[in-house]
Structure 1
Amino acid sequence: MLLKICWMLSVLALCQANLRIKRIVGGYPALVPEGDGVPNDINEKINKTNDNNIIQPSSSTTVNNIIYVQDQYRTAEILGVEEPEGVCAFKGIRYAEPPVGRLRFQRPVFIPLNGKYEATKYGPPCPQLSSDNRGIVGSEDCLFLNVFTPLKKNCKKNYPVMIWIHGGGLNSGSALQYGVSHLVKKDVIVVTIQYRLGSLGWITNNLKELSGNMALFDMRIAIKWTKEYISFFNGDPERIVLAGQGSGASAATLLSMTDFTKGMLSGVFALSGSPVSPFAVDSKPEITYSNITKLMGCNQAVGLEVVKCLQMLSLKDIISADTKFENMKISNEGYLTGLANLLSTGPVVEGKNDGRFLPFLLLDTPLNLMKMNRIPKIPILTGVNKLETKSGILGKYRAQVQEKLTQIPDYINKVLPNNILKSNSGLFKNGNVNNVLQSLFENNNYLKLVSSSLGNTVKDFEKVVQGTTDALFNLPAFFTSHLWSKHSSSYFYSFEYKSKSFKTPGKWFLPNILGAHNKDNVKNDVGNTHNSAKKDEDTGEPGHGDELIYLYDVRSIEGMPIPGSELKDQSDIEMRDNFTSLVAEFIHHGKPRLSKLDDEWPSFTSAKRSDYVILSENSRIEKKFRFCEMGLWGGLPDILQSSYCNFPGISDILKTVPDLLKEGVLGDVTSNAINALSNPLNKIAGLVNTDHITPGLINLSPNKPTKQNNQQSNGGLPLLGGVPVLMDQRKTTENKRPTQRPGLGLLGKKKK
């Protein structure tokens, strides 16, 4: 009888909850609903963000913004602040359980809003090595997000939303580095999120106990949180653009192609990163896992014992192992790996779902996913900077490049192109360099065309910068824009504005991968650098991350303003206004718009046209983005044979690679991603082939390409091979929801 009474009371409480109406955000606080059904003392749960030790910005704030949230099951009250920059901020909102203890190295557990939150202080960044290499900053309890909204006095309902995924090579950076007020003032809500870094977010042995991609699931949970709650902040849940820079851009594009975000996003904004960038996915996760667990002392464990061993490690041991592996990898593989590839753990291809375990996120390589119609029907705004690799080559890798130029005969003409080819792992075919493309780059006459495209009058360092920029950044962006344009609008830009104030402002945002910013990077009033012996090599063209200062104010890793980083030159300020305006237009309407252009911003449409916009003091629309260079680095037959490029002897060269004419460089990409869980006995942790172990590390050098005997022709002459000009939208079961385990949500969280 007692059980029946309890059951009836529960049903009545649930029915009463279903009759409630969501409160309207803004204006005066809504009345407290009757019959809440939950004791007040339980709802008085204060957000733990307020107890962290992070130093908060000292600028004065006025607490005047309260958000009320109510759904069918719980209520919440969020106290925010009005920032001096003229925006409302709700800081340090926890979106997932702290990933510590038994949750370390596991998928995140979603936390719904419930109770009272004093969202006036930032949560700590995720743990990482400090930019000066002197210690560790951050805390493992770091899964927080921040919501920035326009002031109430400018209030209108249904602001579009941008979720920002920070860059930093997936092992550094934080959401606190980006001052978003310039975007927010253009009637956009910005949500900045944090995700686990390094091994804490990515390590995997491809077994169900340690399946990997934890940080990607962190991002996905933050997207879910935004989708569910942003309406209470006057945001539009139907207009959410996922954005990121560098590795954050690659993560954003990868997430947009998964079933886990289907129907959640209205667009993607990707700066200097793509799903086929060489740093998007770890192409050798087994080797990465074996080497890092060896450094951690957990390489002898198997199955659940691996997880237990890793969970027992100190934070210092984990960060130390990541750092040692990164340094050893650069030492063994050289500067190209440092410029282009993941230096530690990162996203991995999990394989196809087999229905036995929690569903996977990356079912195949990004290249295969793009060719298999997994690109969502949402627009993308993407672009590159003019000399992406400049800061690295003229900075932290300068000595290595100089050594290669000095000691290796004809390095630029014969050695560099092949080394770049082997580093461009995002475009690998079935795990290795496309053998047809490899054959092209073994032809001396073809190499002469490649080297001539770098310029005959420029210096050697400039040639290295241009070649690596074209192959490792421009080409992946070019392919992505082309393939995306088959499904939706693809808008492309080349950022070429030369700052009047700073040479390499990107170093403020990405100090761990570009090197710390110093006074040599600040220009004086007449445009020269202070104390710079290399000013003749660095002409001030924008490199990786240098465009960020025209979207965001610079902040430290812990969210503090950095003196001397403010834009003061009027031309710089105008560029910031133009860049934030076109981005805001894309977030609002799905299409960028720049008033300085003579016409509407064109879609990329195809690789043959490759329409794009140059962003500079004289922004303009152009066609054929780095057209001939893309043809050479990508081995694209239609471009190589075009009269526009007029390459001498190209017909005879292409006769040596008939398969290229049949399929294109991306043809015959076999869908052969292996589900590592299909036979766990073949993937037991620690049982990695160690026949070719080099001292300290297992097989860090890229594998030599092997001949593929199962090539298939698609017929015709498609530009990219296997990607016809018009692609039929196949109706498959791939678009169905991922399989769920009984009684569990998608992420392993018990259903309410």
Structure 2
Amino acid sequence: MVLWGLVLLGIFITVKGDERGARVRRIVGGDPAIAPPEDDPVVFTRFNGKSARVLGVRDLPHYVFRGVRYGHPPVGKERFLRPRQYFLEGFENATHFPSPCVQPVPGQNTVLGKEDCLFLNIFTPTLPTGTEGLPVIVWIHGGGFRYGSASQYGVRHLVGKQVVVVTIQYRLGSLGFLSTGTKTLPGNAALWDMVLAVQWTRNYIGFFGGNPHRIVVMGHGSGASSAIMVALSNVAKGLTSGIVAMSGSSLSRFAVDDAPKSTAVEVADANGCPTGSELTMVRCLQNLSPASIIKVDSSIETERMTKQGFLSGLAGKLGSAPVFEGRRDGRSLPPVSEKEPLNDPDSSHSKIPLLTGITKDETKRACQNQFKDEIIKNLKKIPDFLDKVVVKNLQSALGIEFNKNTSAGNLLGLLDTNQFKNYLSYQKDNLVQGLGKISEATSDALFNVPALLTADAWSKQDAPSFLYRFEHAGKLGKGSNFLKGLPLIGNTSQNDASDGTVSHGDELAYLFESQDMEGRSIQSDSGNPDDDRVREFFTQMVTDFARFGKVRLGDQDVKPFSINDNNFIEVSPKPKVSRDFRYCEMGLWLGLAQRLQTNTCKLFQVLDATPLGTLGSGTQKLGQTIGKVGGDSKKLLPSLGIGR
């Protein structure tokens, strides 16, 4: 009788509904529940002892759950601290995109967004069907750690490939990354936001049709470097099954702040906060309006660019960014980023697949637009500007130093800047050629070298890595549709592709539809058949990787990256696998003697005046010979075999 009463009670329980009326909730163990109507997606969750009813919307052809909270508000005394996980409970209205995190309005002395911004959006082609669920992509937006939102990126084309996509928000600027490198202000609060969002996804995504054991973390630019640091962090161990890093890695110049305390003191001074006591400084900063902190970030960025020049705008590092925390932060808490993850060859959790790549002209549009006048002025005014200034500063940005206590082996070490003359030669009265050479050099040093080193580091960890180069200059939106405000992008829309340029962010339009910060469409697709072919291949490549951990071309699996082949995927209307990724250019920047001795690289004539008596036989590894890569806090440990 009691059991029968419980059954009757379960049948007649109704859940409070919206304007479309109540829906019946059946108890576990009864008849199968009726599938939710297509225009009324409701998901019931139960985790950590809490139950929730989550109402989303139908955005044909998929379901969307917008503005789902994953972290408690990081405001007041919780500003700068690690986030606290939010567990779904009661009725959750997920029908509206969230406000973005506080950030500057490009080109204006104002800000937008809210400090209470730890939300994510879930896009799924189907609600749970009783199977293991679909692969999941967690998207970490780029924007130089200062710009962007979870709602800017329309994912219709990705979701159409039968994957679940989760787009996340994290604290930006000094609100997310301010650090003194001490226990008082250890930093990396935003990296903890990302880790928490991935953990939240692991806990809940099964209720939304995703497979919690098949989660790929994916990002662009600063989002790519963050994706690698998050996925390989000890605190996120086992949460991810792969990484997609677009135009960025943890070896990128912009990935970390090597001098976080000076940035923190600048932020405090400009806001009138005392700096003698770190605790007093932090408490003062916690009582300021978020807008005042973000506006100071903009002032610091402008001041640093004015002082350091256009290379700082291309390379980043103009404000607060992630830091390497060391083994402990002084509070007996584990770090999210103890050290450069690629330096740990014994880290078994790094044996997950990686798909990484760049565009063919990462910095070209910036060199020919917002930095054009400054570059031309320097080309006219400074003798040997390219090799004496640009190359020297880029070598410093790479952070490569030759360990003179080690046999030279296959390395010349850090080449003298004079050795770059043939690589950078142009007619002195042709400033357009000069601009092109600067864009080539900066793209190689700031993007291609980190991509190559990262792909190779993975291959040395017995984990498959795949390298691509996006080469299609189509008619779809450019990087400015997604990354406006980033110094590398500028504040104006630049959609002209008539010169064949494919710069930073231009590939995003082939995965995502561009939207404003709150999810409203800002551009309709107006591509051509070639654009359609590239989008079809690019989305398929990414979703195949999410599903299988590998890449296919036609009906064949693509061979993982090998330093012997330098193999990479050309993303174009007719995609193909090519070899010798920037073979001689990478040899020049990294001082790889064996490459530079080949007939292939004879054009550069680098070794003509260089003693070759101690060059060795080709068995030594770059990682054993280079002193350090990527600045004071980074080392290239995964040995880059020389090959060939």
- Please give the TM-score of this superposition, normalised by the length of structure 2: 0.86
Q: SS of 1:644's equivalent?
A: helix
Q: Provide the residue aligned with 1:494 in structure 2.
A: 469
Q: Provide the residue aligned with 1:648 in structure 2.
A: 605
Query: Structure 2 residue aligned with 1:401, among 363, 375, 379?
Result: 375
Q: Provide the residue aligned with 2:5 in structure 1.
A: none
Q: SS of 2:292's equivalent?
A: helix
How far apart, in 2, do the equivalents of 1:278 and 1:454 lie?
30
Structure 2: runs of 5 or more not aligned: 1-22, 30-36
CA shift digits 1:576-615 (9 cap, x unpaired): 12111111111111112232xx84322112x231111111
Residue 155 to residue 29, structure 1, CA distance change in 2 (3 Å): farther
CA deviation after TM superposition for structure 1 residue 289, in Å: 2.1
Q: Provide the residue aligned with 2:639 in structure 1.
A: 723
Q: Provide the residue aligned with 1:102 in structure 2.
A: 77
How far apart, in 1, do the equivalents of 2:236 and 2:313 lie?
31
Residue 662 to residue 210, structure 1, CA distance change in 2 (3 Å): farther
Q: Provide the residue aligned with 1:462 in structure 2.
A: 436
CA deviation after TM superposition for structure 1 residue 557, in Å: 1.5
Q: SS of 2:553's equivalent?
A: coil
The answer as to 2:601 corresponding to 1:624 is no
Equivalent residue letter for 2:534: M
Cα pair 1:440 1:657 within 8 Å, conserved: no
What aligned pairs does 1:18-97 form with structure 2 within 5 A after superposition?
Answer: 31-32=26-27, 63-71=39-47, 73-84=49-60, 86-97=61-72
Cα pair 2:252 2:447 within 8 Å, conserved: yes
Residue 354 to residue 92, structure 1, CA distance change in 2 (3 Å): closer
Equivalent residue letter for 1:325: I
Residue 429 to residue 74, structure 1, CA distance change in 2 (3 Å): farther
Cα pair 2:469 2:569 within 8 Å, conserved: yes
Cα pair 1:337 1:423 within 8 Å, conserved: no
Q: SS of 2:229's equivalent?
A: helix
Cα pair 1:508 1:517 within 8 Å, conserved: no
Query: Structure 1 residue aligned with 2:396, among 386, 400, 422?
Result: 422
Cα pair 1:453 1:629 within 8 Å, conserved: no
Structure 1: runs of 5 or more not aligned: 1-27, 35-60, 529-538, 674-701, 706-710, 712-719, 727-752
Query: Structure 2 residue aligned with 1:608, among 564, 570, 584?
Result: 564
How far apart, in 2, do the equivalents of 1:454 and 1:384 lie?
28
Query: Structure 2 residue aligned with 1:507, among 474, 477, 480?
Result: 480
CA deviation after TM superposition for structure 1 residue 664, in Å: 5.9
How far apart, in 2, do the equivalents of 1:365 and 1:428 lie?
17
Residue 622 to residue 594, structure 1, CA distance change in 2 (3 Å): same
CA deviation after TM superposition for structure 1 residue 723, in Å: 2.1
Residue 613 to residue 397, structure 1, CA distance change in 2 (3 Å): same
Equivalent residue letter for 1:509: F
- Count of aligned residue pairs for this structure pair: 602
Q: SS of 2:324's equivalent?
A: coil
CA deviation after TM superposition for structure 1 residue 145, in Å: 0.4
CA shift digits 1:543-569 (9 cap, x unpaired): 000000000001012211114x42332
The answer as to 2:557 corresponding to 1:562 is no
CA shift digits 1:489-544 (9 cap, x unpaired): 00111100111355xx11010001112344x6357xxxx5xxxxxxxxxx132100
How far apart, in 2, do the equivalents of 1:284 and 1:93 lie?
35
Q: Provide the residue aligned with 1:594 in structure 2.
A: 553
CA deviation after TM superposition for structure 1 residue 254, in Å: 1.1
What aligned pairs does 1:88-167 form with structure 2 within 5 A after superposition?
Answer: 88-152=63-127, 157-167=132-142
Q: Provide the residue aligned with 1:549 in structure 2.
A: 509
Cα pair 1:269 1:380 within 8 Å, conserved: yes
- Structure 1 window deviating more from structure 2 (276-285 vs 541-550): it is 276-285
- Structure 1 window deviating more from structure 2 (380-389 vs 337-346): it is 337-346
- Structure 1 window deviating more from structure 2 (90-99 vs 635-644): it is 635-644
Q: SS of 2:146's equivalent?
A: coil
Query: Structure 2 residue aligned with 1:388, among 362, 369, 382?
Result: 362
Q: Provide the residue aligned with 2:20 in structure 1.
A: none
What aligned pairs does 1:205-220 form with structure 2 within 5 A after superposition?
Answer: 205-220=180-195
CA deviation after TM superposition for structure 1 residue 375, in Å: 6.4
CA deviation after TM superposition for structure 1 residue 440, in Å: 3.6
CA deviation after TM superposition for structure 1 residue 655, in Å: 5.0
Equivalent residue letter for 1:723: S
CA deviation after TM superposition for structure 1 residue 257, in Å: 1.7
CA deviation after TM superposition for structure 1 residue 455, in Å: 13
Cα pair 2:217 2:227 within 8 Å, conserved: yes
Q: Provide the residue aligned with 2:589 in structure 1.
A: 633
The answer as to 2:224 corresponding to 1:265 is no
Residue 670 to residue 411, structure 1, CA distance change in 2 (3 Å): closer
How far apart, in 1, do the equivalents of 2:136 and 2:426 lie?
41
How far apart, in 1, do the equivalents of 2:185 and 2:233 lie?
20
Cα pair 2:65 2:94 within 8 Å, conserved: yes
Query: Structure 1 residue aligned with 2:421, among 431, 434, 448?
Result: 448
CA deviation after TM superposition for structure 1 residue 161, in Å: 0.1
How far apart, in 1, do the equivalents of 2:628 and 2:330 lie?
19
Query: Structure 2 residue aligned with 1:480, among 451, 454, 474?
Result: 454
Cα pair 1:63 1:80 within 8 Å, conserved: no
CA shift digits 1:465-484 (9 cap, x unpaired): 11110111000000000010
Q: Percent identity?
A: 38
Equivalent residue letter for 1:79: L
Cα pair 1:490 1:604 within 8 Å, conserved: yes
Q: SS of 2:467's equivalent?
A: strand
How far apart, in 2, do the equivalents of 1:329 and 1:283 lie?
15
Q: Provide the residue aligned with 2:544 in structure 1.
A: 585
How far apart, in 2, do the equivalents of 1:209 and 1:346 lie?
17
Residue 72 to residue 261, structure 1, CA distance change in 2 (3 Å): closer
Equivalent residue letter for 1:419: N
CA shift digits 1:241-290 (9 cap, x unpaired): 00000000000011122111111111001100111010111122222222
Cα pair 1:198 1:345 within 8 Å, conserved: yes
Cα pair 2:109 2:295 within 8 Å, conserved: no
How far apart, in 1, do the equivalents of 2:79 and 2:298 lie?
19
What aligned pairs does 1:520-559 form with structure 2 within 5 A after superposition?
Answer: 521-522=495-496, 539-559=499-519
The answer as to 2:310 corresponding to 1:335 is yes
Equivalent residue letter for 2:393: N
Equivalent residue letter for 1:572: D
Residue 667 to residue 200, structure 1, CA distance change in 2 (3 Å): same
Q: SS of 1:451's equivalent?
A: coil
Q: Provide the residue aligned with 2:10 in structure 1.
A: none
Residue 671 to residue 493, structure 1, CA distance change in 2 (3 Å): closer
CA shift digits 1:157-203 (9 cap, x unpaired): 51000000000000111111100011001100000000000000000
- Please give the TM-score of this superposition, normalised by the length of structure 1: 0.74
Cα pair 1:76 1:115 within 8 Å, conserved: yes
CA deviation after TM superposition for structure 1 residue 442, in Å: 2.9
The answer as to 2:175 corresponding to 1:200 is yes
CA deviation after TM superposition for structure 1 residue 448, in Å: 2.6
CA deviation after TM superposition for structure 1 residue 229, in Å: 0.7
RMSD: 3.4
How far apart, in 1, do the equivalents of 2:475 and 2:151 lie?
26
Residue 499 to residue 142, structure 1, CA distance change in 2 (3 Å): same
CA deviation after TM superposition for structure 1 residue 449, in Å: 4.4
Equivalent residue letter for 2:57: V
Cα pair 1:126 1:141 within 8 Å, conserved: yes
How far apart, in 1, do the equivalents of 2:170 and 2:281 lie?
22
Cα pair 2:361 2:439 within 8 Å, conserved: yes
